[in-house]
């Protein structure tokens, strides 16, 4: 009798172990992309153009390891109500008005250096919508993590100023949405684009529920992101900027993540990790000179997975920001996706 009981007990443990493995593998990584992202027309010779994304998507679809471990869900445009989580009503109306007046022409948004064409409003709302659907699916437990390959980028857009090729601040709307829909109290936004995300910093500057961490080249556009910009009021200590001189390379960015971000997160304990994933700090990018390589982005992704697994149950969403050499973006995105996928397999 005793022997049978021990045998049954062992059998249950073995069955339990296998069912755990299969449930971890059931969760896939999401890739959020829509061909309509290519409709945002910025004009000839603009670095933020549709050709940035075409090779990235082609390479992902040709990579068996990635296609067999990812899903590509559909999503809708963000509504005005959702956009208003991080943007003023006046600004949303301004974008609606200025894009609808264009007909077949192009112009710059009146608030800054963001080109717009007739489909730009649709595409910008779709970029936000990609992030919203991604976090819905992650929070529902359908996906372990996700990468949204969107245009236009978002991190230079503040509540009422579109600039630096950005219309809506994709990650900022998503962070506010996570708070409103799911009651999350601590969200981390990591920004490794070569440029400082002045818009994101501005939106959360007096807020202690969203921690903004940026590593960027200095001096460079937009000129913000000095180390003494640490937040204000309740938000004091919840903005962390690391400036790097040009040609810093992988070692310096990895050092910033290990020595600055890790200890800060051991205190903050984020419940969700959002990443403003720009690849214009990659060696050979026409707009940045920090000279990271694919391997550097891979190490950064491993550190972020470590933080996310520890505190946020692995819930991580990357959203594309800059990156103006498509081959570099493609290789680096694959590197990061491999890290996200291997976390699933290892667990």
Query: At closest approach, how far in Å is the CB of 166 from Zn ion?
Result: 10
Distance CA(226)–CA(240), nearest Å, equals 9
Contact stretch for Zn ion (CB under 5 A) within 53-61, 128-136, 298-306, 317-325: 317-325
Query: At closest approach, how far in Å is the CB of 20 from Zn ion?
Result: 41
In the complex with Zn ion, which residue's Cβ is closer, 276 or 334? 276
322, 324, 325, 344: which one contacts Zn ion (CB under 5 A)?
322
In the complex with Zn ion, which residue's Cβ is closer, 69 or 198? 198
Query: At closest approach, how far in Å is the CB of 103 from Zn ion?
Result: 30
Query: At closest approach, how far in Å is the CB of 164 from Zn ion?
Result: 7
Distance CA(225)–CA(213), nearest Å, equals 10
Contact stretch for Zn ion (CB under 5 A) within 26-34, 233-241, 280-288, 337-345: 280-288
Residue nearest to Zn ion (CB): 322
In the complex with Zn ion, which residue's Cβ is closer, 162 or 322? 322
- Contact string (CB under 5 A) for Zn ion, positions 175-194, x = contact: ------------------x-
Token match 């153009």: residue? 49
In the complex with Zn ion, which residue's Cβ is closer, 113 or 181? 113
48, 202, 271, 280: which one contacts Zn ion (CB under 5 A)?
280
Query: At closest approach, how far in Å is the CB of 134 from Zn ion?
Result: 21
In the complex with Zn ion, which residue's Cβ is closer, 137 or 217? 217
* 345: phi then psi, degrees, rounded to nearest 5: -70, -45
- Contact string (CB under 5 A) for Zn ion, positions 188-227, x = contact: -----x-x--------------------------------
- Contact string (CB under 5 A) for Zn ion, positions 44-73, x = contact: ------------------------------
How many residues of this chain interact with Zn ion, rule: CB under 5 A?
5
Contact stretch for Zn ion (CB under 5 A) within 95-103, 144-152, 225-233, 316-324: 316-324
Active site residues: 156
Dihedral of CA 303/339/343/181: which sign? positive
Contact stretch for Zn ion (CB under 5 A) within 87-95, 144-152, 200-208, 322-330: 322-330
Secondary structure in 3-state letters for the chain: CHHHHHHHHHHHHHHHHHHHHHHHHHCEEEEECCHHHHHCCCCCCCCCCHHHCHHHHHHHHCCHHHHCCEECCCCCCCCHHHHCCCCCHHHHHHHHHHHHCCCCCCEECCCCCCEECCCHHHHHHHHHHHHHHHHHHHHCCCEEEEEECCCCCCCCCCCCCCCCCCCCCHHHHHHHHHHHHHCCCCEEEEECCCCCCHHHHHHCCCCCCEEEEEEEECCCCCCCCCCCCCCCHHHCCCEEEEEECCCCHHHHHHHHHHHHHHHHHHHHCCCEEEEEECCCCECCCCCCCCCECHHHHHHHHHHHHHHHHHHCCCCEEEEECCCCCHHHHHHHHHHHHHHHHHHHHHC
Query: At closest approach, how far in Å is the CB of 280 from Zn ion?
Result: 4
Q: Which residues bind Zn ion (CB under 5 A)?
A: 193, 195, 278, 280, 322
């Amino acid at each position: 009798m005793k022997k049978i009981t021990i045998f049954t007990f062992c059998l249950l443990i073995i069955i339990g172990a296998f069912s755990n493995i299969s449930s971890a593998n059931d969760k896939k990584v999401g890739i959020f992309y829509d061909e309509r992202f290519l409709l945002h027309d910025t004009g000839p010779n603009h670095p933020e153009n549709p050709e940035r994304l075409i090779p990235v998507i082609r390479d992902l679809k040709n990579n068996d390891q990635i296609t067999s471990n990812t899903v590509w869900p559909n999503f809708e445009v963000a509504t005005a109500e959702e956009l208003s989580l991080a943007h003023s009503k006046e600004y949303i109306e301004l974008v609606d008005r200025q894009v609808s007046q264009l007909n077949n022409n192009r112009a710059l948004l009146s608030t800054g250096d963001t080109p717009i064409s007739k489909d730009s409003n649709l595409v910008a709302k779709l970029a936000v919508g990609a992030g919203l659907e991604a976090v819905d699916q992650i929070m529902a437990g359908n996906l372990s993590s996700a990468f949204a390959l969107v245009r236009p980028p978002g991190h230079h857009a503040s509540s009422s100023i579109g600039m630096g090729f950005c219309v809506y601040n994709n990650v900022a709307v998503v962070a506010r949405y996570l708070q409103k829909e799911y009651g999350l109290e601590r969200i981390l936004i990591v920004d490794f684009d070569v440029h400082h995300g002045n818009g994101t910093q501005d939106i959360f500057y007096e807020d202690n529920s969203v921690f903004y961490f940026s590593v960027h080249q200095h001096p460079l556009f937009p000129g913000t992101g000095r180390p003494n910009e640490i937040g204000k009021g309740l938000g004091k200590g919840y903005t962390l900027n690391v400036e790097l001189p040009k040609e810093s390379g992988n070692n310096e960015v990895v050092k910033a993540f290990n020595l600055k971000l890790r200890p800060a997160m051991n205190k903050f304990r984020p419940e969700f990790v959002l990443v403003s994933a720009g690849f214009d700090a990659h060696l050979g990018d026409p707009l940045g000179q920090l000279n990271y390589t694919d391997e550097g982005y891979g190490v950064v992704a491993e550190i972020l997975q470590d933080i996310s697994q520890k505190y946020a149950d692995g819930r991580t969403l990357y959203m594309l920001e800059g990156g103006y050499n498509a081959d570099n973006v493609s290789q680096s995105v694959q590197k990061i996706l491999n890290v996200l996928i291997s976390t699933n397999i290892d667990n």
